[in-house]
Structure 1
Amino acid sequence: MKPRLNIVTLGVSDLKRSRDFYRDALGWEPGQGSDNNIVFYGQGGIVFALYPLNDLAEDANLPPGRSGFPGVTLAINMDSKEAVDQLYRQITGNGGTPLVEPRETFWGGYDCYFADPDGHTWEIAWAPFWKFDEQGSLLLE
């Protein structure tokens, strides 16, 4: 079996609020199978899902409490610094919490950070050494 990341699910405290945030801030529309209990977004071969936090924790047999940095970030890679700036303004203008303003990075790229309504940490980045395929997926050459 080839290793493959297929689904990333975020536990959220208010599914409707999160669904509205991802629509308004990123323009993402729910995909097939979405309903009032779960939301799916197609992401070029990976499915991004939103699910109520308490239900997700119960499913994983873990307590639902969250605090501090969980050691995970999600990232959206763009094809230019200007695209990073534009998306950051769009997201923070639609309810995203600014964490780190757009900046030059020590690794030669450009990035910024925001949090969604549940505090999940996202990076928006441009890396001059990464390329995209025709579907917009990153190519690690």
Structure 2
Amino acid sequence: MNFPGYQAFSMRSYFSKQPGQPARCLHCGGPLSVSPVEPSAWVQDELDDPFLIGTHNFSLLFRCKACQWWCIRESWDLNEIGLDLDCLIVGVPSPAASAAQGSEQPWQKALADPSIYRNSEDIPETIAALFPPGKS
């Protein structure tokens, strides 16, 4: 399957405590590999803002080897204004795109999107269920 599209979600809209990391695929239930990635353009822009004191906690790419689904989780703090941010970018399948049209690394487009979190949605329960409960 090909997942060239993406959607951003706010983790804080669902979880009162930061949850653990996802361990299984949303689409096939297969195990996920995890690797660090550079912060998204959005996060980097906020960290570079001279009027904010930002701290980057992590940017992690999760991939399913079985069906190629992917997601990126990013956590950062804007200490100057007291914001603790935790967001998720989820790969979305596109029935119109064939595997030949898909990029080998479709998440790169999401990371480069300077407005990725502008229209973040509340994380749906189906995706939130992938995350083990966190610690305070």
Q: Give the TM-score of the pair, scaled to structure 2.
A: 0.29
Structure having the higher helix fraction is 1
